Structure 1
Amino acid sequence: MIKIDRLKLKHCTLVCFLIVGLFGFKTACYGQIGFGLRVGGNISRASGNAFGANRMGYQLGGDLIFGLNSKMDIQVEPSYNLTRIRVNDNTASLSGGLSKGTRSLKYLNTPVYLKVNFTRKFSILGGLDLNMLLNDDAYKLNDGKPAFNSRTRIGYALGIDLGALYFRYRQFKKNNKIVDNWDAHIDQYQLGFKVRLF
């Protein structure tokens, strides 16, 4: 059974309003609407004293493309994202610390990009990234409190589309509640394949 709390419901509602708003906005714009699918892998690393080496994960999702003109689009990329980070043993003995090991964090992330098309196959993108942790109850600190934040976070993302290939860099802050790591952030590099359906 899927457990949906109020924070997750608010995030999903915000994403729906954003998409509906962009559909309404498109009538005053260029009028082109597109949809695509994407899949790929990622490498993630969290900053801060509690974290260590890079770890690999994956993401899959879709593209909603709203054409502004022949050179610019707004692109929304709702995705399921498995982010894996390595926790070292620096905080393992502290009450607000976390034991050593790799943690798999499952996110729903929704970046909203301004996309500039230089050619039909080459574009650059930049924008905000809303992300929400889906398995916030999976990992606990030594004192029994949740180790990672469940509240919707806003980060930023940059990207390149090159034909069927895409590259993304994402960063989002305050992802955890581990002692001395309130300002820690996750850096993620994504590489994958995309296909536009219409």
Structure 2
Amino acid sequence: MFITFEGPEGAGKTTVLQQVANRLREEGIKIVVTREPGGIHISEQIRGIILDQQNTMMDARTEALLYAAARRQHLVEKVIPALETGHLVLCDRFVDSSLAYQGHARGLGMEEIYQINKFAIESCMPDMTIYFDIHPEVGLARIRANENREVNRLDLENIHFHEKVRAGYLKIAAAEKERIQMIDASQSIEDVYQRVLHIIEARMNR
């Protein structure tokens, strides 16, 4: 099964993903944990270009194409082989991020970004997506308070950009209620972790 974790900056999805993965491994489940952009050598190199704070002149379409390229390589080199060998794949971000960030927040059009990514991923969509919903002010405040978290180029965008990102995610969630499970990420990390674990275990048992 392929499960993705999505959400605006500072939503806590990466922390919760690791907690859930550790718990499921204790239960004897074969898991591959990965992230986008990144997860494998080529895609991590592309990630460095995308998120470099010095690359403020990057064109929005260039950014979208780089994400799609990193996604394609990550998919064929890591995600699909893991699924074919019976692993549960937990991925920090996937195609919904491109729809929300480049499609909606950058104003390139969600359908246009979907078509770019449709070419990249073919028919490989997540079986389930956990969306961590949080107001941008709260998420960005968490980032500023966390000295250990990397601060990337997207973190430097103004509040209006992050509000558009959230609006994009909410639009996707409303359209795909069967795939996307929405979580109130403003709760404590422990509460969010327990909720996410329950959702995933229930889906696996079903």
Greater length-normalized contact order (CA 8 Å, ≥ 6 residues apart) = 2
Q: Which has the larger radius of gyration?
A: 1
Which structure's residues are more often strand, by fraction?
A: 1
* Greater fraction helix: 2
TM-score by length of 2: 0.28
